[in-house]
Amino acid sequence: MSDLPLWVREIENQARGNLVLLVEGDSDVALFRHFLTQHRPGWDVRLHVAPASSKSRVVTGVTVHRPDWIGVIDLDEWSPDELREAVARSPRLRALPRFCIESYFCSPRELWTALPHVQRSRGNDDPQKLTGPILAALPDWVAHGAMWRVLRQLHQTARLPTQLENEPVTDEVEIRRILQAWHDQLAPDGVIDQYHQELETAKQLSQDEQLIRYVHGKKFYHQVVVQTLNRLFSQQGADDWLQRFRDEEIRPPQDLQVLLDWILSFVP
């Protein structure tokens, strides 16, 4: 349809009539293709995985532009209510069970089994050599995740006052009231209070839950996991390590298998 956005029409042309799975970014495409292949070889005969470039585009893509497509969004800062609301708008939209796709390479237990045998041998087949340094970094990254959530939510709610943007407001008393309310949202004490609440919620979770739901998986993978792997084994880039993991024929974790089955249930 000519009234569709250019990015949607481009994906249509690339899909060549196949069902489209929209994901957020290029790294999601590569990793979803890997996990789908491990889960069910031959999936790509009737399914095309494409990046929408943002969460909002994935949601809009499957709810407005092409409701016959399917979409998967990162869990990241979304609250359970926000997720329920987004999914309620389309039966063809789901969220990852974890913070983001890189979160599947942050659990030291899962990482150890995904390592090539030669690497495990260099570590004397002792998973603690990997687990110890990664979990030692966890408390700081849980705190980072709590603040990150607060700031992302603040970004959504504390933007420039729409009352002053959308129509003329000339009453200076009203202008001051609006600006004061905006200022109060940005006050450090309030932000710190929200941070403490979010951090307390995170601390009630197990380490595994913290790793997959609270820790910023993409940043943690690059700054902690890759650095730990390089100290233990050999110096490689983040993408090189991902490729090593993809070369190993390891079945996806159970929570991801459920999502993959949901995706493939739409494939004709």
Domains along the chain? Answer: 6-102+254-264 (3.40.50), 104-247 (no CATH)
Residue 1 predicted with pLDDT over 60:
no
Residue 203 predicted with pLDDT over 70:
yes
Q: What pLDDT does 246 receive?
A: 83
Query: C-alpha 137: how far from its chain's center?
Result: 20
User: Do residues 74 and 95 lie in contact, with contact meaning Cβ atoms separated by under 8 Å?
Assistant: yes
pLDDT in tens, 150-191: 888 887 776 777 778 777 888 889 889 988 888 887 788 888
pLDDT in tens, 83-126: 778 778 888 999 999 999 999 999 999 999 888 777 777 767 78
CB neighbour burial string for 77-96, b if at least 16 within 10 angstroms, e if fewer = bbeeeeeeebeeebebbbbb
Q: In sequence order, what E strands does 28-186 have?
A: 47-51, 70-73, 93-95
**Which residues have CB under 8 Å from 239's CB, separation 6+?**
none
